Structure 1
Amino acid sequence: MNEIHTVVVERDIPHPPEKIWHALTQPHLIEEWLMKNDFQAVVGHRFNLRGEWGGVLDCEVLAVEPNRRLTYTWNFAHEDAAFDLKSVVTFTLTPTTTGTQLRMEQSGFRPEQRQAFGGAKTGWPQFLANLEQVLARLD
């Protein structure tokens, strides 16, 4: 049986969902907190995320619910095909009395992908900390 692993990071952010959505969907802002990209919030749009480490992630937008939910694939072709990463990232925005609960879930890690899974577990909290810094500057 193939066990699939998931990384989940949740944050309470003192900004309204609309402001967070803007930072999740505008290419110039995504570049500030995540990576260079050619993102468009359109279901079916294929785009790349380009890391400073030289890697390129091939992505496709799967779901767009403005100010509520954004889902896209997060795929990385490894030189050893057995380690190709085919995963899905979902951002869920839930309004709270103090702002928004942001939930990021990346699913699809196979057991042999320990390095990719570990990278996601340490990387996403940093990406979301960067996102909060971008949001603080957007006033």
Structure 2
Amino acid sequence: MTEIPPIRTVVIEREVAHPPEKIWRALTQPHLLEEWLMKTDFKPEKGQKFTFSRQPQPDISVVVDCQVLDIEPNRSLSYSWQAFGLESVVTFTLEPTPRGAIIRMEQTGFRPDQDAAYKGARASWKQFVARLDELLSRLD
């Protein structure tokens, strides 16, 4: 019997002093997504296709093709994330706490032969979530 190699997942979880409704705005409003993640034409509707894009250097463009898979306002958001041969799923969950909320970001679908993508995602999501936290501190 052939053994199927495990699919790897990047998980970042932290508690923030902001309510789920405020975090939800930053996860679903394109002008706010652009501040902490990437430029996007996102619409919070199940089945909606959208892209994330950025140009880190003049001669390099990054485009991520996505589709909203599941959405439960102020609670969870899941979308496909496809770029550079990676087909994965990103899921955000928000859990209210007495202090604010726990944000959990999970990106799953990294095959064993996608080590560079996996390591890049681990580093990038830490930076993205830190920028999300900074944005939340500035939002009303």
With the length of structure 2 as denominator, give the TM-score of the two structures: 0.93
1:58 to 65, 86, 95: 65
Does 2:75 align with 1:38? no
Q: Name the counterpart of 2:138.
A: 137
How high is the sequence identity, in percent, across the aligned residues? 56
Q: Name the counterpart of 1:81.
A: none
Q: Which runs of structure 2 are paired with 1:20-99 in the superposition (5 Å)?
A: 20-53=23-56, 54-76=61-83, 78=84, 84-99=85-100
Q: CA deviation at 1:55?
A: 1.2
Q: CA deviation at 1:17?
A: 0.2
Gaps of 5+ in 2: none
Number of positions where the alignment pairs a residue of Structure 1 with one of Structure 2:
133
Tell me the distance in 2 between the aligned counterparts of 1:19 and 1:97.
Answer: 15
Gaps of 5+ in 1: 79-83
Counterpart secondary structure, 1:105 = strand
Q: CA deviation at 1:88?
A: 0.1
Does 2:17 align with 1:14? yes
With the length of structure 1 as denominator, give the TM-score of the two structures: 0.94
Tell me the distance in 2 between the aligned counterparts of 1:51 and 1:44.
Answer: 23
Runs of 4+ more than 6 Å apart:
none
Tell me the distance in 2 between the aligned counterparts of 1:30 and 1:52.
Answer: 15
Contact 1:35/1:52 (<8 A) preserved: no
- Residues 64-95 of structure 1 show CA distances to partners (whole Å, capped at 9, x for unaligned) of 1000000000001x3xxxxx100000000000
Q: CA deviation at 1:52?
A: 2.5
Q: CA deviation at 1:104?
A: 0.3
Q: Name the counterpart of 1:119.
A: 120
Tell me the distance in 2 between the aligned counterparts of 1:137 and 1:32.
Answer: 11
Tell me the distance in 1 between the aligned counterparts of 2:30 and 2:5.
Answer: 35
Letter of the 1:118 partner, please give it: K
Tell me the distance in 1 between the aligned counterparts of 2:21 and 2:101.
Answer: 9
Instruction: Indicate the RMSD between aligned Cα atoms, in angstroms.
Output: 0.7
Tell me the distance in 2 between the aligned counterparts of 1:16 and 1:7.
Answer: 24
